Structure 1
Amino acid sequence: MNDGDTRVPSRRELLKIAAACLALPGVTVRMAAAAALRISNRLSPLNSKRPKRPHTRYIILHTTEGEEKGSLNKLVRYGEAHYFVSPSGKVLRIIDKSKIARHTGRSMWEGRSNIDNYSIGVEVCGYHNRDITPAQTEALKELLRQLKSIYNIPDERILTHSMVAYGRPNRFHNDNHRGRKRCGMIFARPEIRERLGIHGAPAGDPDVQAGKLKVADPELFSFLFPPRSEPVLAATDAPSPPPAPETVEVPPESPLIALNRTAWHIARERYNHPSTVYVFPDGRRLGGDKIQDWGRIPSGTRVLLNEAEDTERFEGFLEIGKDGDTPAEIAGVAATSATTIYFFPDGLVRTGAELKKKRSLQRLLKTPPKGTRLLVGYVYGGHVKSRRPATSIAGTKWNYPSTYYRYPDGRILSGDDINAKDIPGGTLIFYQQ
């Protein structure tokens, strides 16, 4: 064909082509849904500071566990989600979808830790054990469709916060374990995933299967990863229909301590939080931070929780006397690792490996003073100097929300709080592996 054979289609022909495209199955429905979804900005003050996410592999679904106004204000203040879906179906943008939002805390999936760095977080106003509204269903379905298309995310990588969160060793569990959160667990239900246009689900937990994590709550684990019915092969050439998803009931959540139901089963990591109240059978009340002997709490004790979880400003820090009485209780075998950092009340900062190696410091490893804080899974980056700025120490992670700075005056700030030009010399930097 030469240039003389080329012609521009007429307006009538273009309209016919457009009409033919609209006639394709599902096109008009998707266009209508996309047009109906209105995303408004309610950007966090931290949005401008947050760095670009290096890779997007997952979508994480959350439930707020609280009422709309308070939950939204908290999410906006701390930049804890990319999107918020209200009961009326209104969708708000909190952090730009290309940036890091701080929404999963201590998390792991497929061997990757700190899933914030690889995921988009969607907070749905509601509760982990209650269905969402029809308006939320429609809005969330379209939002997920768009995000899946933009980032090429398969349904098997649309996960719940309860799937990816994990806990450190504590008084009740000796190992790193699943079960730290119930957040978003309703979105593991096969019938709800189908309503949201999510036609696949993870077949199991890759980190439990790899031996990296233990299962601390078998009931929750079975709910998140329900067994799938195997198709029955019939003596026919016709293909077998796919197995119908099984309906799984939400595990019971009694607030009463019993022989097989500990404080951890009810309150999870908040079992020793001051806002968690224990009402004993004799009427006495104690806050979680006042209880000394966890093994002697009588059956029938009622555990009262805050409706919405407080924000842990320093999510990565664990404290002696609060999260465990010894480094081994808190960090397990990582207690003496170079990637476990100790912050002592007198200002001394050392790694677990340094404490183990130096005889004069070994007593601090054996019996650290109450109030000592630990960072587990962190790199001790060293001091900022005039010719060694934060970017040369932590690279692209210098302003990640999970990166911490210890100023010469003892203050500890996160990447959210940092201005690169204002970091004083002598500041220590700690960033995740």
Structure 2
Amino acid sequence: MTLSTAIARLNAADPDFARHLDHLLSWESVSDDAVNQRVLDIIKAVRERGDAALVEFTQRFDGVQASSIADLILDRERLELALTRITPAQREALETAANRVRSYHERQKQDSWQYTEADGTVLGQKVTPLDRAGLYVPGGKASYPSSVLMNAIPAKVAGVGEVVMVVPTPRGELNELVLAAACIAGVDRVFTVGGAQAVAALAYGTESVPQVDKIVGPGNIYVATAKRHVFGQVGIDMIAGPSEILVVCDGHTDPDWIAMDLFSQAEHDEDAQAILVSPDADFLDRVAASIEKLLPTMERADIIEKSINGRGALIQVRDMQQAIEVANRIAPEHLELSVADPQAWLGQIRHAGAIFMGRHTSEALGDYCAGPNHVLPTSGTARFSSPLGVYDFQKRSSIIFCSEQGASQLGHTASVLARGESLTAHARSAEFRILDNEGN
């Protein structure tokens, strides 16, 4: 097979640049009517028939010969066995990554707080972990033990009482690295089910699968569609789009490094997006040459080729200031600042899921072991969203305690506002507690 790239070249100086950029960035996760109806039917079946529906769908979709739900449950001993089946190097890498992820996320943990006003009124916030979280993990070829760490560890750090993992095992194939990661991350229960049926089971519960409070983790279009439908019944992390990387480079990083950084996201799937922005036109040419040179050496070259040709781009800008403006416009999932002094530009970055600083900080380090979470907002949602973190597994409750004097003082204010809204019961409820009993 002949491989070649025709990566798009854009110039911010062109009058139509904004239109071309919008077209390049456009991507919408749309479930067609057939997918949507199938997911609704699956959810309905799981709600009505519970475990029996899970077993039936697992037999049909995953080719697993299971006679009962018991065949689809992995106990803690099986997870511990996985630790002995992976290589020592793999175990060491998982444990190193887990320790770094845990250390980073421990700094995110929020504590409850209160303060007392002069009249004795106490106000505050009570932070409480979720009781139970569900973790969806892709199975088969798309097996990502790193995602297990990134989703389960923040939940455990937050104090979630139970983490339940679902993972499909096509044709009964278990991924030992995924199970080992679950063991290291402290996952409590594992069910070898996947697809929309697994999402439905976590959202509504079955005889065996416990109902959870929030579902996190990536999946295919059926999983994403199911998460949309169960949102409200449970919380979800996000509906993630294809992986993205935006590299801003001043033209002085090795072009082979930059090409490989672009490949690191392009190899995920054909819809992934890899973009380079630089004020140096000659450097863009050198990176294009590196892409052509290195592409044939890649195991997933066909996927990279389609991604680069379909959604990739090399963008020339006037200067570094305009490069930062373009970066903020794109609001990428992953942003590499491959420049001499990244700290000088950091303050101007407003929208990015994760920011990789300097020439030596490849995005791949963040995917696996740097410490920050690799579950990040995509498709421009970094404008209003944040990486997955401990705070996603904690709830905040307001605390209000009024002293007798405080209730009386606040009662006057509440009364005026409530009567202004024609809510008399609200007003009188507050007025009953005014010390001089005015308004009663």
TM category, shorter: under 0.3
**Which structure: greater helix fraction?**
2
TM-score normalised per structure 1:
0.23
| TM-score normalised by L of structure 2 | 0.23
Q: Whose RCO is larger (CA < 8 A, sep 6+)?
A: 2
